[in-house]
Structure 1
Amino acid sequence: MKAAQAFAQTNNLDKEMDECIEKLKALEWGNSDPKYITALMLFAKNPGYIWIRKKKRIERIKANESEEIGHAYTQDLIHGDPIQCFDMIRLSQYAFVLLCNHFTQRNWLQHSRTISVEEKITIFLHVVGHNERFRAVKERFHHSIQTIHQCFHEVLKAMMCFAREIIVPTSSNTTKNTSECYRRLKNIFPGALGALDGTLVHAVVPIDEQTRYRGRGKDKYYICDAAYTNTRGFMAPYRNTRYWLADFRRNRALTKEERLNHAHAQLRNFIERAYGVLKARFPILKRMAPYPFPVQRDIVIACVAVHNFIKKYDIENDLFTSFEQNNMVTPNVGGGGSEGQNIQGIEWGSEAVEYMTTLRDQIAN
């Protein structure tokens, strides 16, 4: 009997609560309006019981509103000011929609109950595009840190599928975007892995494991300026010889040393501009957060994949346009930038120096 009475009382309270909500809706107060909340708290005969029910409902309303904030923010980026979209997620609206459709069509990501694919990718791009911590992103999207963490890693995992499709060796049938000059320079320096200054990606790795991640192999080397020793793994230009690109604008290279220095400076310029636009789009590559190393690795791969995606589909992009200007890279007068400091595993012996000197002379000849 008591149970039946309690059940009937609960139904009556539910009815009263529903009537209260309908009356409040008629007043057109917002769900977060203090008057709305106060009315809910004061309404009903049983203050203690109704307070618990109203509190839960208020919390549920606020939770729903928070979920809508992230969705509304994402939609505003897609359909609102294009400059704001680029500033916030480092992609144009067209590129972002194309990227989201790509992931959806291949079923790499799915909408969840409260978060769309677009919002998940927006959360990921916020992290890598501004090097923001999850707590800061949480405030933007009004989700819990656990939700932000889950979305980030869900997208990062999907990015690995994306990377396998989009990061592939260039074929002999190069695209129209591939520079003939760059192909010529790669043929001149077939062992070049990259340029030293401005191209290394920051990573948080224990000191005793750092050398193994210095991507060098047999007959491979980094292009570096004259501030570095010309030794195995690091090819510097000839000293006391013209080197900077500006030095050759009026007078062409004459000697074999000048010709090598000119080609060396051109290749270094190409590489530094390529990494420059990548790091400008994704600042997390300049100062990686202390994620576990496999996560750091995957973030780099994901950033390169998105970068290649934009380039592959020839999407117009201001970053590419600005960095394609030759004057974007200026001489480092002091030489030996910060990335060259504290490099582990350099071979300083006479044999290593002689090896690279011979290799450089072979290329010059």
Structure 2
Amino acid sequence: MVQIRGKKDERARIEYIERIYNGFSDSCVNYIRMGSGAFVKLASIMRNNSLLKDSRNVTVKEQLIMTLNILGHKSKNRCVRSHFIRSGETVSRYFNKDCIGMIDGTHVDAMLPINLVARFRGHKGVTQNVLAACTPNKLFTYVLAGKYYLCDAGYPTMQGFISPYQGVRYHLKEHSGKTPKNRRKLFNLRHSSLRSKIESVFGTLNNRFKILCAKPHFPFPIQVDIVLACSVLHNFITIVDLSDELLNDDQFNKDIDGEVAFENDTNLVDFTQNQTQREQTESRNEWKTFRDDIAWAIWVDYCDKYNHGVTIET
């Protein structure tokens, strides 16, 4: 009797997976948040590199589908185990495997032991404050020391970080009758154009993987792995599936707000570095000068192209 029930469960499970994978044209995207072609490549990479292996009862394909559904829809263990007719322990085991693991930050809800909550509490509640960098083609990356990041007005200009000019209003379009009138406005415009990439990436990431928008119920190390895994999966989809609908969603490909908040970073102190306040001030001034040099260079180039070389500013 048990054997008969086991065969029925296995047949139902296979049929369910086939409906996801070979059902309607958008079944795969809707269920695991990526197209079938990208999924096949991902499964192949995981299997060929021994990152995942078929177990006696659970194939690599099923392991991935369960995991991607949880990441994409913040599905509960009890729902997934019902869909796949698996025990809760099986679902948990395959989801909690070690994940393969312009600058901006985003906050991802976190759940921590009471003795650690204070470290992660901010104006958005208890969160992981995630700092990320991406390339202009919307791949998450890591920039080594010696490079600089473009960051928004929430960061001061300091060693390795170049923020926009404070309190400088500018227009997002250079050639719509509202052309920039000085180097600072032009710099902020170009800065915004580049930084909009990271805003777009975060929008796509959160829209694809709804687990990042949910209160987590995993141990904190797993919460960190989830963020890393979603970022890696984003990169994978960006590389293998240029037609992915979420990557091409206009909602996440718009320029960010065209005005910079009026803030003053004169008294900001960078507590992440072992420097005196005087040293930090000197370092910020050095990088502000570097920003000025960049602003002047792009202003001269702009005027050469569009203003007959006249660099007078207003």
Q: Tell me if TM exceeds 0.5.
A: yes
Counterpart of 2:257?
Answer: 331
Evaluate the alpha carbon distance shift between residue 286 and residue 357 of structure 1 in structure 2; reply closer, same or farther with a 3 A threshold.
farther
Match of 2:23 in 1: 80
In structure 1, the gaps of 5 or more residues are 1-56, 164-191, 337-343
Aligned residues: 261
Which one has more relative contact order, counting CA pairs under 8 Å at least 6 apart? 2
Secondary structure, aligned partner of 2:179 = coil
Q: What SS is found at the alignment partner of 1:319?
A: coil
Cα distance in 1 between the residues matched to 2:217 and 2:158: 31
Corresponding letter in the other structure for 1:241: V
Q: In the superposition, relative to structure 1, how do residues 223 and 257 fare at CA in structure 2: closer, same or farther (>3 Å)? A: same
More strand by share: 2
Q: What pairs with 1:171-182 in structure 2 (closer than 5 Å)? A: none
Q: Indicate if the aligned counterparts of 1:134 and 1:148 stay in contact, CA closer than 8 A.
A: yes
> Within 5 Å, which residues of 2 pair with 1:145-156?
145-153=88-96, 156=97
Q: Aligned residue for 2:152?
A: 224
| Counterpart selection for 1:195 from 98, 101, 104 | 104
SS at match of 1:195: strand
Query: How many Å separate the matches in 2 of 1:353 and 1:128?
Result: 43
Q: Structure 1-normalised TM-score?
A: 0.60
C-alpha change, 1:112 and 1:350, in structure 2 (3 Å) is closer
1:333 deviation in Å? 7.8
Within the alignment, does 1:66 sit opposite 2:16 as a pair?
no
- Identical-residue share of aligned pairs (%): 25
Cα gap change, 1:276 to 1:150, in 2 (>3 Å): same
Correspondence 1:112 to 2:55: yes
Structure 2 gaps of 5+ residues are 122-127, 133-143, 263-269, 294-314
Query: Per-residue CA shift, 1:276-295, capped at 9, x if unaligned?
Result: 21222112223351322221
Match of 1:140 in 2: 83
Query: What CA distance in whole angstroms lies between the structure 1 residues aligned with 2:192 and 2:7?
Result: 57
Going from structure 1 to structure 2, the CA distance change for 1:87 and 1:334 (only over 3 Å counts) comes to farther
- Cα deviation code 1:284-315 (max 9, x no counterpart): 22335132222122222222222222222344
1:308 aligns with 2:235: yes
Q: Aligned ranges for residues 1-365 of structure 1 at < 5 Å?
A: 57=1, 59-153=2-96, 156-157=97-98, 159-160=99-100, 163=101, 194-196=103-105, 199-205=106-112, 206-210=116-120, 223-225=151-153, 228=154, 230=156, 236-246=163-173, 249-287=176-214, 289-323=216-250, 326-327=253-254, 329-331=255-257, 356=284, 359-365=287-293
Q: Which runs of 4+ in 1 moved over 6 A?
A: 211-214, 216-222, 332-336, 344-347
d(CA) in 1 for partners of 2:252, 2:226: 28
TM-score (norm 2): 0.68
Question: What letter is aligned with 1:311?
Answer: T
Looking at secondary structure, tell me which structure has more helix per residue. Answer: 1
* 1:151 Cα deviation from its structure 2 partner: 2.0
Q: Larger radius of gyration, structure 1 or 2?
A: 1
Letter in 2 for 1:362: F
Distance 1:318 1:203, change over 3 A: same
